[in-house]
Amino acid sequence: MTYSRREILETLRMTELEHFDIRTVTMGINLLDCGHDDPAEAGRRVHAKLIRQASELPRIVNEEADALGMRVANRRIAVSPVALVHTRKAPESYVAIAHEIDRAASDMGFDFVGGYSALVHAGFTDADHALIASMPEALSTTERLCGSVNAGSSRTGLNMDAVIAVARMLKETAYRTRDRGSIGCAKFVVFANAVEDNPFMAGAFHGTALPEVVIHVGVSGPGVVCQAIRRAGPCDLRELAGVIKRTAYKITRVGELIGRRVAERLGVPFGIVDLSLAPTPELGDSVGEVLEAMGLERTGACGTTAALALLTDAMKKGGAMATSAVGGLSGAFIPVSEDASMIAAAREGALTLEKMEAMTAVCSVGLDMVAVPGDTTEEVLAGFIADELTIGVVNHKTTAVRVIPAHGKKIGESVSFGGLLGDAPIMDIRRLSCAGFVSRGGLIPAPITSLRN
C-alpha cells in the first residue's frame, strides 16, 4: 500500500486538526488450549499465554504510529469466550481467571481486555451459568476486564432466560460499583448476533473460527467526516453520501496500513478493519455533530434516523472500496456518554431512549452507554434489553445494550466515568410493568425468513 504526497498531507491534516485517530489496535488470542479443571492452573496458563503473545504489541503499535505520524488511542486484547476455556460450575473459579487476565493486561500496559463472555443464544451450559453468576464480582474487582453475553441470534431467536439473568447481574454489578458511578456495568454489553472479530470494547471476544492470534483495527474519525460535510456546503443528499464515502475511503486506508504493519512485525495474520465511527466526549469528535452538520437542529430531531442511515451506509460503501478486509461492526456508534453532542441532546430532552431505539435499527450496534435510574427494576431492564435485541434478531443485524442502572441516581442527575467513557445523563425509562411477559422465560422463536426453503 503506497501513498501519494497529497494523501500524506491530507492524513496529517485529519490527525492534527480533525481529531482523527486509530481508535484501537486489538490482538485476538485463542485461549482454548489453556483450560484446566484447577482454576489456579487455568489462570496461570492464561496469564502466561497472554504475556507470551501480546507483550510486544504496545511497543510496536507506538513505533508504527510514531513513524506514520498517527495517533492510536487504545491497545486492546480480545480472548476466547472464557466460558469455553474453563468448565467448572463454581463462579469463584471464573473470578480467579478474571483476575489473571486483568493482571496480564495491566502488566503489559493494555487499556482493556475483552472476552469474559458467554454465548447463550440457544441455551446455557453449566459453565455459562457459572460465568454469568461470577460477573458482578469479576467486573467490580478488575480494572481492564470487559464482559459480554450473546443472548440472541436471527437463527435461534432470543433467550429470555439469558436476558433476565443479565438484568439481575447488572443490578448487582451496579450496586457493587456504586462508589464509582456503577462503572462495572459500563464494562459489559449484551448482544444479539454478536460478531467474532469485533475490536471494540466492551463486546470484543476472539471467535472460535479465527486464527490462533490475529490483529484487528478499529478506525474512528467522526471529526474528519464532520469537517468534510461542512466543506461540502448545501449539496443534495446523493452528493452528501459521496462526500462521506470518499472520506471513509481515506480513513480506512490509514487504518489498514497501521494494522498490516503491526501484524507483519509481530509475525501474525492481519484480520479486519472495523469502519465504525467511534466518538469521544471531546468537542469536534462526535457522531451527533456529524448528524447536525447534515442539517439537523439537534440529534433526536425528526429525520435523525434517516440521517444516521445515510451516514452508516456511506461509511460502509467507502470503506469497502478501500479494503477487502472490512469486518467487525462497521457503521456508527451512538454511545450517549461518549459523545459530547449526544450528551447535550439527552440533557435537553431532544434525545430520548425511544428515539435512540429507532436509530439502532440502522446504526452499527445499539443502545450504548445509556444510564437509567438506579431504582429501575430487573423486569423493566429485561424488557428494555429484550426490545433492543429483538430489533437485531428480526432484522438480521448486530444489536446490543450497554446500560448502566446507576445506583442512587435519579432522572436529571448524571454519572461521570472519566476518560473515553465520559459523562452520562440519567435518562427517563418507561416504568410500566412488563413482569408478566419477561417472567415467562424461555426462548422467543427465531423469525421466519422465507416460505420457500
What is the chain's length? 453
**Is the pLDDT confidence value at 19 over 90?**
no
Helices (H) and strands (E) in the chain, counts: 15, 13
Residue 2 has a pLDDT of 53
Residue owning grid cell 475490536: 199
Region of poorest pLDDT, from 67-76, 157-166, 227-236: 67-76
CB atoms within 10 A of CB 399: 27
Residue 68 has a pLDDT of 81
Residue 21 φ then ψ, to 5° = -150, 165
Residue 11 has a pLDDT of 53
Span 404-433, average pLDDT: 89
Span 279-308, average pLDDT: 89
Does this model's pTM top 0.95? My answer is no
Residue owning grid cell 472476552: 115
**Comparing 221 with 315, which gets the higher pLDDT?**
315
Residue 5 has a pLDDT of 46
Displacement of CA 437 from its chain's centroid (Å): 28
**Is the pLDDT confidence value at 9 over 60?**
no
Sequence letter at residue 361: A
Q: How far apart are the first and last CA of the chain?
A: 44
**pLDDT tens for each residue of 123-145:** 999 999 999 999 999 999 999 99
Residue 415 region by backbone torsions, left for phi larger than 0, else alpha for psi between -120 and 50, else beta: beta
CA pseudo-torsion sign 364, 365, 367, 368: negative
Give the 3-state secondary structure of residue 256.
helix
Residue 97 has a pLDDT of 94
Residue 83 φ then ψ, to 5° = -65, -20
How many Cα atoms within 13 Å fall on the side-chain side of residue 164? 15
DSSP string, 5-66: HHHHHHHHHHHHHS---EEEEEEEE--GGG--SSHHHHHHHHHHHHHHHHTTHHHHHHHHHH
Contacts of 256 (CB under 8 A, 6+ apart): 1, 217, 270, 273, 322, 323, 325
CA distance 47 to 192: 30
Give the DSSP H or E segment for 146.
strand 145-153
Cα separation values, 215 from 101, 273, 275, 313, 325, Å: 18, 9, 15, 25, 12
CA distance 365 to 281: 18
**Comparing 283 with 345, which gets the higher pLDDT?**
345
Between vectors from CA 227 to CA 221 and to CA 229, what angle results, nearest 5°? 105
Residue 10 has a pLDDT of 55
**Is the pLDDT confidence value at 335 over 90?**
no
Displacement of CA 108 from its chain's centroid (Å): 22
Span 263-282, average pLDDT: 89
According to DSSP, the residues that pair with 119 across neighbouring strands are 150
DSSP string, 161-220: HHHHHHHHHHHHHHHHTGGGTTGGGGGEEEEES--TT--SSSS----TTS-SEEEEEEE-
Q: Which ranges of 233-286 does DSSP label H, i.e. alpha helix?
A: 237-266
Give the DSSP H or E segment for 68.
helix 57-68
CATH classification of 1-447, choosing from 3.30.43.10, 3.20.70.20, 3.30.930.10, 3.30.300.30? 3.20.70.20
Could you give the percent of the chain with pLDDT greater than 90? 67
- Hey, where are the domains in the chain? 1-447
**Is the pLDDT confidence value at 404 over 70?**
yes
Helices 5-17, 237-266: axis angle to 10 degrees equals 100
Residue owning grid cell 478488575: 142
Displacement of CA 427 from its chain's centroid (Å): 20
**Is the pLDDT confidence value at 17 over 90?**
no
Residue 8 has a pLDDT of 47
